[in-house]
Amino acid sequence: MSAEERHAAISLAALFALRMLGLFLILPVFAVHAPAFRGGDDLTLVGIALGAFGFTQAFFHIPYGIAADRYGRKRVIVFGLLLFAAGSFVAAAAHDIRLVIVGRAIQGAGAISAAVMALAADLTRPEQRTKTMAVIGASIGLVFAVALVVAPALYRGIGMAGIFVLIGVLAFAGVWVVLKAVPPEPAEHVAAALNRASFGAVLRNVELLRLNVGILVLHAVQMAMFVVVPRLLVERAGIAVVDHWKVYLPVVLGSFLLMLPPLLAAERGGRARPLFLGSIGLLVAVQLGLTWWATTLGIIAALLLGFFVAFNLLEAVVPALVTRVAPAEVKGTALGVYNTTQAFGVFLGSVLGGWLAKHFGPDSVFAVSGVLAAGWAIVAAGMKAPPVVAHSVSARAAS
Where is 366: in which H helix or E strand? helix 362-380
More confident residue, 135 or 10: 10
Residue 104 is which amino acid?
R
Is 70 exceeded by the pLDDT of residue 328?
A: no
User: Which CATH number fits the domain that encloses residue 247?
Assistant: 1.20.1250.20
Helices 331-360 and 113-122 cross at an angle (nearest 10°) of 140
Range 116-137 average pLDDT: 76
pLDDT value at residue 176:
94
Q: How many domains does the chain have?
A: 1
Domain containing 92 equals 3-181+199-386
Q: What percent of the chain has pLDDT over 70?
A: 88
**Integer Cα distance of 318 and 130 in angstroms:** 9
Is 70 exceeded by the pLDDT of residue 394?
A: no
Q: Is 361 left (phi over 0), alpha (psi -120 to 50) or beta?
A: left
pLDDT value at residue 72:
79
On whether residue 190 sits in a domain, the answer given is: no
On whether residue 14 sits in a domain, the answer given is: yes
CB atoms within 10 A of CB 297: 15
| 125 phi/psi in degrees, rounded to 5 | -80, 155
**65: three-class secondary structure by DSSP:** helix
Residue 52 is which amino acid?
A
Averaged pLDDT of the chain:
82
Of the pLDDT bands very low, low, confident and very high (cuts 50, 70, 90), residue 396 is: very low
On whether residue 120 sits in a domain, the answer given is: yes
Q: Identify the top-confidence range among 241-245, 301-305, 378-382.
A: 301-305
Reported as half-sphere exposure (CB side, CA atoms, 13 A), residue 120 has a value of 34
Torsion of CA 321, 323, 327, 331, to 10 degrees: 150
On whether residue 193 sits in a domain, the answer given is: no
Reported as half-sphere exposure (CB side, CA atoms, 13 A), residue 6 has a value of 3
Of the pLDDT bands very low, low, confident and very high (cuts 50, 70, 90), residue 345 is: confident
Identify whether the C-beta of residue 91 lies closer than 8 Å to the C-beta of residue 107. yes
Q: Measured in whole angstroms, how far is the alpha carbon of residue 64 from the centre of its chain?
A: 17
Residue of 154, 55, 152 whose CA lies nearest to 106: 55
| 307 phi/psi in degrees, rounded to 5 | -60, -45
Residue 290 is which amino acid?
L
On whether residue 186 sits in a domain, the answer given is: no
Reported as half-sphere exposure (CB side, CA atoms, 13 A), residue 296 has a value of 3
On whether residue 301 sits in a domain, the answer given is: yes
Angle at 62 between CA 365 and CA 309, to 5 degrees: 40
On whether residue 391 sits in a domain, the answer given is: no
Residue 150 is which amino acid?
V
Residue 18 CB partners (closer than 8 Å, separation 6+): 170, 171, 173, 174, 177
On whether residue 246 sits in a domain, the answer given is: yes
Q: What percent of the chain has pLDDT over 90?
A: 26
